[in-house]
């Protein structure tokens, strides 16, 4: 990636990244979870996890579907109105042989259509809103904010508490039954290493006493690499147009305040497309997020012109990176090496996905909305140029996983067993995306 530093935000807020993400609801594919089970994560096959997917959701649009659930704490909503650009993408996808779908979490993920969102009445439903808010009044729950965990404390080989920074000082919390880390794929391995659990040589390098030599901690980092193709649109129908005029901003604001509707109620990515671009793939290997706006970077200021984005990512990358300590200071940021595009398969997929995106944009009726390809641009024509573009402009799509992965008993690099217990110690669990054997 040319030695670039890449923006990797984290959700430093109640609810974590579910409070800042793009709202889109997409499960992994059946084959992903069956693959976990095959690698030693007993109890995590598709048939094992499906009941929990159903239990968590209140998905009224698919209430009659046996793959969905109702009455759960997380409201899943369908986008209430169609957008001209997304309809054009759907038609172009159909012309290329991609079936239309109204449910990417149905029997087959392959297709083109609208995403479902974690929203209720136009407002985000985060993990904090769904699970924490209803439990706030419980006498056995205390919530600390503006606090950062520093390390796990031990009595012998049993986790006995947590040390945290809060209010300019250090506080110790004692645990009677155990400690659960849910700090995410970056901070959970960092906390384990600060607590003396991790690759022994790396801990010793930072002067940390080794509690347990666990070589897999901080390894196996996987993420979806986002490649964004930017287009200038022929018609003033994009979110850029609304945001770049006072009248448009007022209209958007009023529509949201009065009706909880409009662009502010649905996020930036309304449409999606899943398909296969590698000949060896049996299931979709890439995903598109179709945004009705354009900007130089995700979350940045929109362009002055009418624009839209075709953002594509590889679903099952082979490349793995690491999370390592920057220092023994718990408040110092860790060192993240994503190691994108490290394998030939990942590089082939990046080039093939960009080619498919261009083919999509050149297919009617989407072609009539393309005034100009801004990125990669007409000067990028061959495979070498497309790969160079991926390395220069590729970025995270904010899905890091795998850095405290679970696995079989004889897998030395498996940090956890299939019940999410940290191997080699007692009373310590991890419960977040770091536990995934492979990103979905």
The set of catalytic residues is 399
In 3-state terms, what secondary structure has residue 436?
A: coil
- Decide if 439 contacts 195 (C-beta within 8 A): no
Which residue from 167, 186, 306 is spatially nearest to 236, judged by alpha carbons?
A: 306
Question: What is the CA 353 to chain-centroid distance, rounded?
Answer: 19
- Decide if 42 contacts 431 (C-beta within 8 A): no
* C-alpha span between 90 and 387 (Å, rounded): 27
* C-alpha span between 325 and 318 (Å, rounded): 23
H or E stretch covering 355: helix 344-361
Burial 281-305, CB ≥16 within 10 A → b, else e: beebbbbbbbbbbbbeebeeebbeb
Which residue from 345, 386, 342, 42 is spatially nearest to 222, judged by alpha carbons?
A: 342
* C-alpha span between 440 and 224 (Å, rounded): 9
* C-alpha span between 202 and 325 (Å, rounded): 8
- Decide if 371 contacts 232 (C-beta within 8 A): yes
Q: Residue 37, CB half-sphere, CA atoms under 13 Å: how many?
A: 13
- Tokens, residue 368: 């009539």
SS (H, E, C) 111-124: EEEECEECEECCEE
- Decide if 269 contacts 291 (C-beta within 8 A): yes
H or E stretch covering 359: helix 344-361
Q: Residue 202, CB half-sphere, CA atoms under 13 Å: how many?
A: 26
| 316 Cβ contact partners less than 8 Å away, ≥ 6 residues apart | 32, 285, 438, 439
* C-alpha span between 161 and 175 (Å, rounded): 5
Instruction: Describe the chain by its helix, strand, coil percentages, rounded to 5.
Output: 30, 25, 50
């Amino acid at each position: 990636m040319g030695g670039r530093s890449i923006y990797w935000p984290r959700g430093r807020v109640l609810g974590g990244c579910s409070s800042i993400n793009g709202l889109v609801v997409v499960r992994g594919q059946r084959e992903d979870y069956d693959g976990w089970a095959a690698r030693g994560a007993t109890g995590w096959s598709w048939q094992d996890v499906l009941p929990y997917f159903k239990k968590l959701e209140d998905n009224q649009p698919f209430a009659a579907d046996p793959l969905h659930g109702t009455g759960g704490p997380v409201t899943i909503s369908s986008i209430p109105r169609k957008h001209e650009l997304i309809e054009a993408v759907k038609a172009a996808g159909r012309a290329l042989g991609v079936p239309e779908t109204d449910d990417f979490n149905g029997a087959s993920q392959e297709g083109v259509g609208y995403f479902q969102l974690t929203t209720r009445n136009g407002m985000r439903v985060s993990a904090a809103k769904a699970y924490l808010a209803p439990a706030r009044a419980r006498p056995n729950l205390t919530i600390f904010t503006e606090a950062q965990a520093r390390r796990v404390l031990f009595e012998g080989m049993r986790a006995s508490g947590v040390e945290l920074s809060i209010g300019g000082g250090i506080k110790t919390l004692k645990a009677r039954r155990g400690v659960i880390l849910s700090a995410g794929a970056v901070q959970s391995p960092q906390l384990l290493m600060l607590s003396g659990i991790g690759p022994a040589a790396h801990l010793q390098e930072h002067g940390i006493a080794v509690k347990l030599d666990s070589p897999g901690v901080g390894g196996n980092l996987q993420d979806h690499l986002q490649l964004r193709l930017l287009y200038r649109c022929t018609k003033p129908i994009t979110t850029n147009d609304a945001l770049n005029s006072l009248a448009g901003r007022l209209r958007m604001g009023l529509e949201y305040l009065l009706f909880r509707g409009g662009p502010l109620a649905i996020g930036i990515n309304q449409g999606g497309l899943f398909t296969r671009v590698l000949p060896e793939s049996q299931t979709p290997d890439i995903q598109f997020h179709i945004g009705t706006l354009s900007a130089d970077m995700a979350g940045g200021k929109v362009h002055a012109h009418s624009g839209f984005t075709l953002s594509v990512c590889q679903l099952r990358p082979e490349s793995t990176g690491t999370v390592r300590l920057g220092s023994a200071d718990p408040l110092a940021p860790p060192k993240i090496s994503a190691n994108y595009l490290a394998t030939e398969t990942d590089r082939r997929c990046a080039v093939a996905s960009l080619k498919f995106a261009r083919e999509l944009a050149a297919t009617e009726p989407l072609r009539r909305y393309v005034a100009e390809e801004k990125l990669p641009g007409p000067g990028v024509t061959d495979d070498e140029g497309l790969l160079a573009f991926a390395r220069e402009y590729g970025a995270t799509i904010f899905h890091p996983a795998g850095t405290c992965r679970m696995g079989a008993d004889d897998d030395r690099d498996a940090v956890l067993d299939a019940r999410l217990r940290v191997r080699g110690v007692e009373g310590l669990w991890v419960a977040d995306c770091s536990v995934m054997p492979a990103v979905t």
